[in-house]
Amino acid sequence: MRLTAILRCGAMGAMTALMMVAPLAATAQGGDKILVPADMQKLLPASVYYKGQSATTQLRNSGGVKFADGSFVLATLVDTSGYSTDIQAKYQAYFITEVPIKIAGESLPAGVYGVGFVADNKFVVTDVGAHDLVTASSANDDEIKRPMPLKVTTDPAGGFRLYEGRRYVVFSR
């Protein structure tokens, strides 16, 4: 009889612990996830097409977001050495979004793009033919201790930040 009471008490304790941990696990699984270069190795190709040429991706300088619904936003720096100077000025990274997003408040449909941080604190999104689609203001993060060539983080005000060094632009769904 005593053994039965001990087993019941143990089972109730285990159920209580499970009920407390279950919401935490759901939150971790149900949220958006920041992707780091190691995650990107499986998602991005070694080279990409842009303006009639193939550019090598720099997967060590990549990042992105996997949204709770399984959709992705991915970015990787590219080697633009074979492109003309005017293309190099605005095409620094390959940008893929599987869902419509907003960049600095500007709407961008799902698609594949070239992006770059340009003079006068601007961020330019182009189609793969190098035609400008969106130009938005970028900002500087002087507080960042160790800037990376390309990085994606969460934005304290909501959404995400795409960094190139200390410069960044905010994007969200």
Q: Mark whether 43 and 23 lie in a shared domain.
A: no
Q: Mark whether 22 and 59 lie in a shared domain.
A: no
**pTM of the predicted model, to two decimals?**
0.81
Q: Mark whether 42 and 95 lie in a shared domain.
A: yes
Q: Mark whether 100 and 38 lie in a shared domain.
A: yes
The 3-state DSSP class for residue 16 equals helix
Q: Mark whether 91 and 122 lie in a shared domain.
A: yes
Q: Mark whether 22 and 80 lie in a shared domain.
A: no
Predicted confidence (pLDDT) at residue 66 exceeds the cutoff of 50: yes
Return d(Cα 45, Cα 78) in angstroms, integer.
Answer: 11
pLDDT score at 26: 29
Return d(Cα 61, Cα 73) in angstroms, integer.
Answer: 15
78, β-bridge pairs: 57
pLDDT score at 14: 42
Return d(Cα 4, Cα 9) in angstroms, integer.
Answer: 9
Mean pLDDT of 38-50: 95
- Condensed to tens digits (0 to 9), the pLDDT of residues 16-26 reads 443 443 333 32
* Interacting residues of 168 by C-beta distance below 8 A, sequence separation 6+: 138, 139, 140, 141, 161, 162
Predicted confidence (pLDDT) at residue 3 exceeds the cutoff of 80: no
Q: Mark whether 72 and 13 lie in a shared domain.
A: no
Q: Mark whether 42 and 21 lie in a shared domain.
A: no
The 3 state secondary structure assigned to 85-114 is HHHHHHCCEEEEECCCEEECCEEECCEEEE
Query: In whole angstroms, how far apart are CA 9 and each of 2, 17, 99, 120?
Result: 11, 12, 49, 67
Q: Is 14 left (phi over 0), alpha (psi -120 to 50) or beta?
A: alpha
Q: How confident is the model at residue 7 (pLDDT cuts 50, 70, 90)?
A: very low
Q: Mark whether 21 and 42 lie in a shared domain.
A: no
pLDDT score at 164: 97
Domain interval for residue 6 = 1-30
**Residue % of the chain over a pLDDT of 90:** 82
Whose tokens are 């190795």? That residue is: 41
pLDDT score at 21: 37
Q: Mark whether 4 and 86 lie in a shared domain.
A: no
Domain count, the chain: 2
Mean pLDDT of 141-153: 95
Q: Mark whether 77 and 128 lie in a shared domain.
A: yes
Predicted confidence (pLDDT) at residue 145 exceeds the cutoff of 60: yes
| Higher per-residue pLDDT: 28 or 93 | 93
Q: Mark whether 132 and 143 lie in a shared domain.
A: yes
Q: How confident is the model at residue 2 (pLDDT cuts 50, 70, 90)?
A: low
Average pLDDT value over all residues in the chain: 87
151-156 contacts at long range (C-beta below 8 A, 24 or more positions apart): 151/63, 152/34, 152/35, 152/63, 152/64, 152/65, 152/73, 152/75, 153/34, 154/34
- Condensed to tens digits (0 to 9), the pLDDT of residues 85-142 reads 999 999 999 999 999 999 999 999 999 999 999 999 999 999 999 999 999 999 999 9
